[in-house]
A and B are shown apart, each in its own frame.
Chain A
């Protein structure tokens, strides 16, 4: 496993002192200012590229029909495949996953799968016989910090963007309608989780939002918070993860959550807007056809 080379000592001192004494970040952003996300939708439904500055993640959703698990005959399946290849950054190895990578993929699994974001019961076609198996593949194209938030946004956007063919059950027979015959259906989602990461630095009481790669390397700890129901007046916490680094008091943690909720609201609204934009363009095309 190639080891990441720590940033040079003087660079480290420079970045940290700027943060601590002047509350300035090296890329000129404010402490609680995130990079503007970009969402690019592909021609196919369920293909989304998400960019946070130079961090890029592609998410793709596809569906197949399979037999359900014996212990859960009424539920469809959601599989998340993600591997951080050396393409994202030279520190990632294609073989055994690194610790950092595992943390990201486990977090994604908790946010998207364990929190029941996708209504898995709606994926059932014939109980115990046929269900939809949804596969979400995440490609990490480049790592310029905060891949988790980027991947989470890409994944959620792709799930919401994806349309599966309509299926009809007549007696014993299952008919799958081609998208050209009948308009395909969106996946039914319980909620839309948005991930927000905050980085903490030694001796600096102020966390920063959306850390870059350099900031991630220098951070003493990363607090990852995922918030859902961002549009409602009382949003819900979905997953929260903090391990080690600078210890926080309960008040500090609560204020961080407030910060994350505010940010998640902005991102959530942005996601809905972009999805609506994209859909409206596509509807026009359908009419022409």
Chain B
């Protein structure tokens, strides 16, 4: 069998990248017309779409909590996505592990105590799979939650890292993911701490720290891109809202969703 060379002697990876080069990243927000928040994230050929509904009235009365919002995560892996093994049912163990990882990662980050007795639905759709699915899903979920206006203490930025002999590689495609010891890390950029770590296949203990540090560093980079995407979307939204301005028909200017006390303050001042 002719196995592709994962890292050439000239230090190029199978898809032509340098070891620490990440794939092209695209972050799209508010794509879904119905969802409260949505995002599509592409890392190279991996594409994941996440929609967020809520916080809303819980459909499952037995599952609701009286003091916080509960998260419900679903994952859909269609056959066309190219995930090996064909379609997976809802009770597939890998699916359940994946959704449980997402749920546990976001539960402490979302300020769930602000919305008692409600439910936040996170639906993950794998559109195209080429490695690092968890990374893409975490990043897309973060953006979708932000788009939905769900209060969170920080961004969650995920990256993957593998080790080829002694060279760490960032942002793995499926070839690399299958053959190398690899690590998925989710970073909270504010504190630089990690909230999700999964490691598969064997790796010397001494090597781990180096990879972890690199993944955290790459997480900051992803964070910067996310900030840029969110900022861009917010500016656009604000421009649209301000485009009709306050002066229409001589009506008093009320900014959308104005809070009462602010309104009075502004009114007195102007």
Provide the residues of chain B in CB contact with A240, threshold 8 Å.
Answer: 183, 197-199, 208
CB pair A105–B93 under 8 Å, yes or no, is yes
Residues of chain B with a CB closer than 8 A to A242's CB: 194-198
Residue B3 interfacial (CB < 8 Å): no
A-B contact count (CB 8 A): 113
Task: Answer yes or no: A103 CB below 8 A from chain B CBs.
Answer: yes
Q: What residues on A are CB-neighbors of B197 within 8 Å?
A: 223, 240-242, 253
Bound state CA distance, A197 and B97, in angstroms? 17
Are the CB atoms of B203 and A237 closer together than 8 Å?
A: yes
Q: For B183, list chain A residues within 8 Å (CB).
A: 240
Q: Does A228 contact B (CB under 8 A)?
A: yes
Mark out the residues of chain A between 94 and 141 whose CB falls within 8 Å of any chain B CB in the assembled complex.
96-97, 99, 102-103, 105-106, 109-110, 114-116
Which residues of A239-264 have CB atoms within 8 Å of chain B's CB atoms?
A: 239-250, 252-254, 257, 261
Determine how close the nearest CB of chain B comes to the CB of A26; give it in whole angstroms: 24
Task: Evaluate contact between B192 and A249: CB separation under 8 angstroms.
Answer: yes
Docked-complex contact A253 and B212, CB < 8 angstroms: yes
Interchain residue pairs with CB less than 8 A apart (28): A97-B96, A102-B96, A102-B100, A106-B93, A115-B202, A116-B201, A234-B204, A234-B206, A236-B203, A237-B205, A238-B203, A241-B198, A242-B195, A242-B198, A243-B196, A243-B198, A244-B107, A244-B108, A244-B196, A247-B188, A247-B191, A247-B194, A248-B193, A248-B194, A249-B191, A249-B192, A250-B213, A261-B205
Q: Shortest Cβ distance from B95 into chain A, in angstroms?
A: 9
Give A244's nearest chain B residue, CB to CB.
B104
**B195/A235 in contact, CB under 8 A:** no
B94-117 interface (Cβ within 8 A of A): 94, 96-97, 100-101, 103-108
Q: Which chain B residues have a beta carbon within 8 Å of chain A's beta carbons?
A: 62-63, 91, 93-94, 96-97, 100-101, 103-108, 183, 188, 191-206, 208-209, 212-213, 216
Q: Which of B94, B193, B204 contacts A237 (CB 8 A)?
A: B204
- Contact at A245–B93, with CB atoms within 8 Å? no
A285 near B: Cβ within 8 Å? no
* A220 CB contacts on chain B under 8 angstroms: 108
Residue with the highest number of chain A CB atoms closer than 10 Å, among B101, B183, B216: B101
In contact, B205 and A250 (Cβ under 8 angstroms): no
Contacts of A97 in B (CB 8 A): 91, 93, 96
Residue of A nearest to B201 (CB): A115
Min C-beta distance of A99 to chain B, whole Å = 5
B108 touches A246 (CB 8 A): yes
CB–CB A235/B188 < 8 A: no
Partner of B101, one of A116, A243, A245: A243
- Does A221 belong to the interface (CB within 8 Å)? yes
Residues in A whose Cβ lies below 8 Å from that of B206:
234
The residue on A at minimum CB distance from B193 is A247
Residue of A nearest to B216 (CB): A250
Tell me the complex Cα distance, A106–B96, Å. Answer: 9
Q: Decide if A250 touches B209 in the complex (CB within 8 Å).
A: yes
A3 within 8 A of B: yes
Residues of A within 8 A of B208 (CB): 237, 240, 254, 257
B209 near A254 (CB under 8 angstroms)? yes
Q: What is the chain A residue whose CB lies nearest that of B95?
A: A102
Question: Judging by beta carbons under 8 Å apart, are A96 and B104 in contact?
Answer: no
Interchain nearest-CB distance for A262 vs B (Å)? 11
A250-B212 in contact given A220-B108, A244-B195 (Cβ < 8 Å): yes
Q: Are A250 and B204 in contact (CB under 8 A)?
A: no
Contact B107 A249 (CB under 8 A): no
The residue on A at minimum CB distance from B96 is A102
Given A109-B93, A242-B194: 8 more A-B contacts, CB < 8 Å: A103-B100, A106-B93, A115-B200, A243-B104, A248-B193, A249-B194, A250-B216, A253-B197
Known A115-B202, A237-B205, A257-B208; contact A243-B105, beta-carbon cutoff 8 A: yes
Taking the closest CB of chain B, its distance from the CB of A8, in whole angstroms, is 15
Query: Roughly how many angstroms separate A261 CA and B101 CA in the complex, as a whole number?
Result: 24
Residues from 175 to 192 in A contacting B, C-beta threshold 8 Å = 191
Least CB separation from A1: chain B residue:
B62
Check if A257 sits within 8 Å of B205, measured CB to CB: yes
* Closest Cβ–Cβ distance, residue A1 to chain B (whole Å): 9
